[in-house]
Amino acid sequence: IHLTDPVQNMSFMDKYFQGIEIVLFPPSIYISELQSKGSLSLGIQNIYFENKGAYTGEIAAAQAKSIGCSYVLIGHSERRELFLESDDLLKKKVNSALAENLKIIFSCGESLEVRTKKEHLSFVKKQLENSLFHLSEKEILNCIIAYEPIWAIGTGLNASEEQAEEMHSEIRYFLTENYSNKIE
């Protein structure tokens, strides 16, 4: 479903998706308007890792929580590439989000160059190790890992079912390698 106007589509979503948690990540200027509409969860597309201080234009995890967000998107490829967000910065954002009890959608993925060199599995593992695997088992349960192959975004190329399953299987393996078998 393509929601061009998320506010007007709230009744449609309430009617057809009962019993399913839907998380909407609108531009931050619409979050407070959407908070009172419908029963879906709201997420913020980005946070800054500091909760106090003068960081003009940035939104702290505590601020996101205060306007009704329960989720945050961290590690999106556009943030990594356009804003040069490093694994270390993402780790700080993860810590800040968890300190405010926000659930995390953590994006990971590789470029076409990395995939062509057949380094995609180790590349994604490094992203997870550097940004997430410092977390306790309890904390990692508040993270949803989303595989996002950068080479398939807006390029006309698509990840095959086999490519996606290979990465999903490896991510599950990386999780059980670092945490108990209960984590998948």
90: left (phi over 0), alpha (psi -120 to 50) or beta: alpha
Place of tokens 């890992």: 145
How many angstroms separate the CA atoms of 114 and 7, rounded?
Answer: 39
Name which of 23, 19, 16 is nearest 43 in CA terms. 23
SS3 call for 27:
coil
Catalytic residue among 76, 85, 110, 170: 76
How many angstroms separate the CA atoms of 77 and 150, rounded?
Answer: 6
Catalytic residue status for 168: no
Catalytic residue status for 148: yes
65's enclosing H/E stretch is helix 61-66
Catalytic residue among 85, 110, 148, 170: 148
Q: Which residues are catalytic?
A: 76, 148
